[in-house]
Structure 1
Amino acid sequence: MMGWEAAWPAQCGCADAVSGEPVLYEPGGAAWGADEAELPARLAETIDAEKGVEIRKVKRDYGRILVIFEASVRRLSEQMGREIEAARFRPNVVVDADLAPYAEYELERGMSIRLGDNEFTLQKPCERCVLPSWDPTGENVRDKELHKFIINELDNHFGIYLRVNDPVTIKVGDGISG
């Protein structure tokens, strides 16, 4: 599954790019509309999922953005004794702010945060699945020690979710305040 990518809006010239629906790209680059009937079978085939794959759409009236902080990534790297790449967490935004490592977990849920010209609501810390333990390049290599550390030392959290009600644009260098 690590070799697959998703985009919304789509980044291709396919029909779903025009309709605004999510598109998944398989490792070879072929684009699949999220609602294509053959997609679950193709996903199952490429990841050797004998039981198949089920795709469920989730209806929300808001968007969610995963944010991680450079200070926390640096501290995690120090604690692990090696560099941990921010890409392992598959964040939407990486923030370099004047905060202590892991300070994001002390922020109050529901508080407003400005990132660039946009206002977000702090939703919750990101409870981590096994995804960060898998190599972000798509290689089938797992870092089980990282996963154990996140569970045992960080209460299985890394990053925070921000809620947004409308599409936004965030640029490199945008400030953060809250």
Structure 2
Amino acid sequence: MALTVKNKYGFVDGSIKKPSEEDIDELQQWRRCNSLVKTWLVSSISKEIAASVFYCDGAQAIWNELRERFSQVNNVQLFQIENEIHDCVQGTMSVRSYFTKLKGLWDERDILCPISTCNCGVTNEELSYRETQKTIKLLMGLTESFAMTRGQILMMDPLPKVSKDYSLVLKHECQRDVFAGK
């Protein structure tokens, strides 16, 4: 975020090109900004990793080195997150805690495995599929005390978005707690 806010992301993605040696003023300004971005990158990682990329030739080289080195880690992380999502059930958690845990896992997964944007309609299909999967996961991970609510929501056509499902389940939990005298 800081790179984007400071208008410096182009130094890591390569869109801000190094000026020619003839344009001394622009080259000096580019080097200063590139060094600033390198400093930000190096200071935001562990000392051990920083030592291994410190002598890379520019911010983009550091960025590419880190991306290559840790891209396989992302695949492992994605697998672990998918397993955590699969294994997540409400158990003794409140609906709020259960949904918050799931939402955090979904957000983390979506960052590691973003949907590519295109104009062919596949993006909308993928978004719809993920939303349906979230709804089903939320509902199927609830305890049996939500069986009636789960059934009612699953009977809806089309299925509501997961945020609406959460709201409906939360209302059911509040009503149940009121009747139980909590």
TM-score w.r.t. length of structure 2: 0.24
| Higher helix proportion (structure 1 or 2) | 2
TM-score w.r.t. length of structure 1: 0.24
Which of structures 1 and 2 has the larger relative contact order (alpha carbons within 8 angstroms, sep 6+)? 1
